[in-house]
Chains A and B, each alone.
Chain A
Amino acid sequence: MTDPTDNAHLAFANHTGDDRPDPLAGARVAVTGGTSGLGLALVRELLGRGARVAFVARTRSRVGQVAREHAGAHGIAGDVSRKEEIYPIAVQIVGELGGLDVLVNNASDLGPVPLALLSDTECEDFERALDTNLLGPFRLTKALMGALTASAREGRGAVVLNISSDAAVNAYPLWGAYGASKAALHHLSRVWGEEHAADGVTFLSLDPGDMDTPMHAAAVPDADPSTLKRPEQSARELADAVADALRRRADFVAPPAAALALEGGVV
């Protein structure tokens, strides 16, 4: 798993054996697209590490099934690509968890399936990819920023993980709609990271690699699964990256507070 641009601001140290407590234990985490592929693997990984997890997905029956199979997980039926569903989703995430420390924007749309050359791509397919991969994460993150910054002020740390792709930086033919939407999401992460660094919110934009998931099968039906990464492996690496960011941010002290404490009796 790599940062698609190796951008220093977003880069993270690989997690290598750390005997401190896992900051994911007790963390309140929301995962979109949480009923299949990488999202489901993330839900399982996070629950296994003691996190309190809410997951979002479109199909109500599938949400109910995954919630029943994973005790303690909060299942939320909703479509992050639809503007009018964002606040109802946010109400349930923060209502049910009581707050939010980590948001994982994982839900993704390939655009045209089968994949198509850009000049063959229907506008509606491109729009759906942008709604799901770019505007959905923008709207949901914005709605949840109050909860995330509150966690940062309380010393719990706050992390937004946006699932990126090597298609965000490489010009792969047939991956135009998906790649363009992921490139924009990556840039959104960078700007947001700059704007909220002082509030204690860390933005990660990470490429989980080519995985053996339903989405990859839809994109590349004849791929040999044995050449692909297991989503459980990517989920573990991503969770490690979030844990590292939480650890760094748990030490976060708002700059003015620190500065003022040193200066003392001003006014």
Chain B
Amino acid sequence: MIAAAHPVQRPPRAKLLVVDARRRIGHAPRSAFVRFLRRGDLVVANDAATMPASLSGTHAATGAAVEVRLAGRPSLGPEDVGRFSAVVFGAGDFRTRTEDRPAPPALAAGDRLALGPLRATVERTLGHPRLVSLAFEGPPDEVWAGLASHGRPIQYAHVRVPLALWDVWTRIAGPPVAFEPPSAGFTLDWRALAAMREAGVEFATITHAAGISSTGDDELDRLLPFDEPYRIPASTARAVSRARERGGRVVAVGTTVVRALEDAAAGGGLVRPGEGLATGRIGAGTRLRVVDAILSGTHEPGTSHYELLRAFLDDATLRRTSAELDARGYLTHEFGDSVLIERATELAA
């Protein structure tokens, strides 16, 4: 597929591929996606706003230029910003493809990094020379102020213009805890939410710290997605129960919502409200307990996002889907086109 190069969240000509529960494939303008919802359905989206998680700076011991991409933290707590896991790149920025970026200097525990107004210390490496645990100096408000003034959204070479936060915050963006935008939510605007309400479709949100999607390093990419903290409001857990009771479908907007809801239901039964840490991988072998359908970007085979779709569809239908996306010129990546996939009935419990 061709990468979408323009940072427009809702291009008027965005496309939607729809796979229904009987594995039939159809196409529609994405702006019409509400038509594929039914009265009684529940749409659940990730309301995480995107943190400015790309920090340029220098490695104090060598003076070498580095780019730090924050990639994880222990919880969503507003004060829990003293320690992050992070992927470190050498000199350069998003304009160079991640796989072509020079490596940073060798990183060791105790190394200090100057990142604009922020000061951080490498605590240790995390099983890979470029994946580190970073400790920031200063109280939480200073860390937030430093991120806000110096950080930029993480981005990749397929989008050529520098992104601003307004390019990557969804309309429903709330807590700035995602390291990359939960981009399936780009589809939603306030008019679409009003249309859902008029159609008798319920709407709820979770907050999930969507992690980075690619590092340019095969060995690191195999570790993705990292563990991701999430929070499910009690009102959302209740909405899932109501949808179940009335026979409505639970439609997840994005892979992060699938990950959070299924993790919160892993104990069996209903979705458990509160904070959790999504550690599992969802794929061909996963039995979905909560989510009936997913609205997502278009994903290439081999990515963790594509693997997740295998929980919804058999491989033969997924291959047909990929062929249709290629043949019809669908665009991929965060500003690309979308798919709406309902779990195949034969696979359903």
A150: interface (CB < 8 Å)? yes
Chain A residues 84-99 with CB under 8 Å of chain B are 84, 86-92, 94-99
Distance (whole angstroms) from the CB of A134 to the closest CB of chain B: 18
B201 proximal to A (CB < 8 A): yes
Please provide the chain B residues from 106 to 155 with a CB less than 8 Å away from any CB of chain A in the complex: 140-141, 144-145, 147-149
Given A145-B171, A149-B172, A265-B246, CB of A195 within 8 Å of CB of B190: yes
Given contacts A88-B149, A257-B202, A260-B246, contact A96 B144 (CB under 8 A): yes
Q: In the complex, what distance in Å separates the CA atom of A75 from the CA atom of B234?
A: 30
Tell me the nearest residue of chain A to B239, going by C-beta: A257
**Cβ–Cβ contact B51 & A91, under 8 A:** yes
In the complex, B175 has a CB within 8 A of chain A: yes
* Interface residue? B342 (CB, 8 A): no
Complex interface: chain B residues within 8 A of A48 (CB):
none
Task: Contact check, B235 vs A154: say whether CB atoms are below 8 A apart.
Answer: yes
B205 closest partner in A (C-beta): A150
B145: chain A residues within 8 A (beta carbon): 76-77, 92
- Which of B39, B148, B197, B234 has the largest count of A CB atoms less than 10 A from its CB? B148
| Cβ A267 vs Cβ B197 within 8 A | no
> Which chain B residues border A90 with CB–CB below 8 Å?
49, 165, 176
Residue of A74, A87, A199, A265 near B247 (CB, 8 A) is A265
B residues contacting A by CB (< 8 A) are 38-41, 47, 49, 51-52, 76-78, 81, 140-141, 144-145, 147-149, 164-166, 169-176, 190, 193-194, 196-197, 200-205, 207, 233-236, 239, 242, 245-249
Across-interface contacts of B200 in A (CB, < 8 A): 256, 259-260, 266
Q: Is the CB of A91 within 8 A of B78?
A: no
**CB–CB A260/B174 < 8 A:** no
Whether B49 and A91, one on each chain, are in contact in the complex, defined by CB atoms closer than 8 angstroms, is: yes
B172 x A146 contact (CB < 8 A): yes
B78, B145, B204 pick with most chain A CB within 10 angstroms: B145
Which residues of B lie under 8 Å from residue A255 when comparing CB positions? 197
Which of B40, B175, B196 is the one whose CB lies under 8 Å from A266? B40
Q: Shortest distance in angstroms between B3's beta carbon and chain A's nearest beta carbon?
A: 25
CA distance A259 to B200 in the complex (A): 8
Q: Are A98 and B202 in contact (CB under 8 A)?
A: no
- Interface centre among A88, A91, A145, A256, by most chain B C-beta atoms within 10 angstroms, is A91
Instruction: Determine the distance from Cα of A106 to Cα of B196 in the docked complex, in whole angstroms.
Output: 34
Is there an interface contact between B47 and A96, defined as CB atoms closer than 8 Å?
Answer: no
User: Binary interface profile of A, 71-114, with partner B (CB < 8 Å = 1, else 0)?
Assistant: 00011110000001011111110111111100000000000000
21 sample A-B contacts, Cβ–Cβ < 8 Å, listed by A number:
A67-B141, A92-B144, A95-B147, A95-B176, A96-B141, A100-B174, A146-B171, A146-B172, A147-B174, A150-B205, A150-B233, A153-B204, A153-B205, A195-B190, A256-B202, A257-B239, A260-B202, A260-B242, A263-B246, A264-B246, A267-B40
Alpha-carbon distance A146/B49, docked complex (angstroms): 9
Given contacts A146-B174, A264-B246, contact A87 B169 (CB under 8 A): yes
Chain A residues whose CB sits within 8 angstroms of the CB of B38 once the complex forms: 267
Q: Are A267 and B51 within 8 A (Cβ)?
A: no
| B140 A96 Cβ-Cβ under 8 A | yes
Encoded as 1 (CB less than 8 Å from any B CB) or 0, chain A from 229 to 267 comes to 000000000000000000000000011110111011111
Contact of B147 among A91, A143, A153, A259 (CB under 8 A): A91
Q: How far is the CA of A254 from the CA of B166 in the complex (A)?
A: 28
Chain A residues, CB < 8 A from B190: 145, 195-196, 199
* Structural contact, A91 and B148, CB atoms closer than 8 A: yes
In the assembled complex, how far is the CB of residue B5 from the closest CB belonging to chain A, in whole angstroms? 22
Cβ-closest chain B residue relative to A84: B164
Q: A144 → chain B, closest Cβ, in Å?
A: 8
Does A198 belong to the interface (CB within 8 Å)? yes
Q: Which residues of A contact B (CB under 8 A)?
A: 67, 74-77, 84, 86-92, 94-100, 143, 145-147, 149-150, 153-155, 195-196, 198-199, 254-257, 259-261, 263-267
Are A89 and B242 in contact (CB-based, < 8 A)? no
B324 to chain A, nearest CB (A): 28
Which residues in B have their C-beta under 8 angstroms from that of A263?
246
In the bound complex, CA of A86 to CA of B236 (Å): 29
The residues of A that contact B248 with a CB separation of less than 8 Å are 260, 266-267
Interchain CA distance A217-B150 in the complex, whole Å: 37
Q: Is the CB of B242 within 8 A of A261?
A: yes
A99-B175, A260-B40 are known; give 17 further A-B pairs, CB within 8 A: A67-B141, A92-B141, A94-B49, A95-B51, A95-B144, A98-B77, A98-B78, A143-B169, A147-B49, A150-B233, A153-B233, A256-B201, A256-B202, A261-B242, A266-B248, A267-B41, A267-B246
Residue of B nearest to A88 (CB): B148
Chain A residues whose CB sits within 8 angstroms of the CB of B236 once the complex forms: 153
Interfacial chain B residues near A96, Cβ < 8 Å: 78, 140-141, 144
Residue on B nearest A143 in the bound complex, by CB: B169
The CA of A80 and the CA of B18, in the complex, are separated in Å by 42
Interchain CB contact (< 8 A) of A150 among B40, B47, B201: B47
Inter-chain CA distance A88–B145, complex, in Å, is 8
Q: Which residue of B lies closest to A259 (CB)?
A: B200
The listed residue (A154, A259, A260, A261) touching B234 by CB distance below 8 A is: A154
- Distance in angstroms from A23 CB to nearest chain B CB is 17
CB contacts (< 8 Å) of B233 on chain A: these are 150, 153-154
Q: What residues of A have a CB within 8 angstroms of the CB of B81 in the complex?
A: 95
Task: List residues of chain A with CB within 8 A of the CB of B149.
Answer: 88
